[in-house]
Amino acid sequence: MVTLKEAVTKSELKQFVKFPFSLYKDSPYWVPPIIKDELETFDKTKNPAFKNADAWFFLAYKEGELVGRVAAIVNTLEINHQKLKKMRFGWFDFIDDPEVSETLLQKVAEIGNQQRLEYMEGPVGFSNLDKVGVLTEGFEHIGSMVTWYNYSYYQNHYERLGFVKEKEYMENKFPASNADPALFTKLNDLIKRRYGLREVNFINTKDVMPMADKMFDLFNETYSKLSSFVPITEVQKAYFKKKYIGFINPEYIKFIVDKEDKLIAFAIVMPSFSKALQKANGKLFPFGVYHLLKAKKQSKDVYFYLIGIHPEYQNKGVTAIVFNEYYKTFTEKGIDMCYRTPELEENIAIKQMWKHFEPVVYKRRRTYRKELA
């Protein structure tokens, strides 16, 4: 028999965070989070997502052993903004036992019905910048710090319980050598002259911060028409700046501005921290910080984390400026492989943007949906 316990205390939440460490201890592909950071994600006093969301965290036990976990999330901003009566769930991990997964998802459904919601979808986080989707292809590739990894049996558990595909995401990769400068160097100069644009590059992280709010505003404008979009709030901007900007090499952040210095495009690339996080094994000290700093300076693999272009400038060749700047930076840094974080299959514009780099889909993931009673 499976029993559930709500994780409320700091000790219980730490159990919630650490469960995957035992579940994936023998996996060479799972990338552990930093335990301290993950705990802060679930701290209602530190994560601004809780200003517009409620969440419940559950641990599953069988014969006295911890065998699964799930977070049940109600995002009131999403419900009110998109008019979607959706029960979210995420951080869903479990042993290969149908009773465990069913018991956890029944609890999510119970809360959804109590909240008078219409359906449940997961795995998702609190917002657009959280991790999303259960991995369905690409289990033999190492994970990243911005995605969930899972065993192949997860998909079967969803479908056995009557869940159906809601959204499909793809992850692509291509060698940095595919970035033929002939594709964008001349166009870069032409587009800058035609629209009076210029690039803004950075050397120090402190110089990025004053423009970061404008970047998040542009993010909201760029992605507002996607089906999964929920705008980033002012409080969340401050939180994400503190949480993520320090991880990113300032020279990997590119801004494009117009004649009035208005931000019209941005892109963020992150060095791969996957192997460094595996070595850190959830802890910054004593050696975790060293591994992360070394990866930040020396990693030859990078992830295209975010790219945003103002709607007025989409389809006008602005990406040529962005790619030209990254080509120069990647050449200087000796970057080998470029990866893209999960992108909605329906996002045709993003596919067109990257087509000349001959990307290969190496992972797929999806969210699943089920109607509530």
Domain architecture of the chain: domains with CATH: 2-170 (3.40.630.30), 175-362 (3.40.630.30)
As given in the structure block, the two tokens for residue 299 are 């990693």
In the prediction, which pLDDT does 26 show? 96
In the prediction, which pLDDT does 237 show? 85
Q: What b/e string do you get for 191-228 counting C-beta neighbours within 10 Å, with b at 16 or more?
A: bbeebebebbebeeeeebeebbebbbbbbbebbeeeeb
In the prediction, which pLDDT does 247 show? 80
64 conformational bin, left if phi > 0, alpha if psi -120 to 50, beta if neither:
left
In the prediction, which pLDDT does 228 show? 62
| Residue 184, CA distances (Å) to 257, 266, 279, 352 in order | 18, 17, 38, 14
Q: Mean pLDDT of successive 10-residue segments in the chain (373 residues)?
A: 97 98 98 97 93 96 98 93 92 98 98 98 89 98 97 98 98 95 91 97 90 91 75 84 84 96 96 98 96 96 94 93 96 97 90 92 98 94
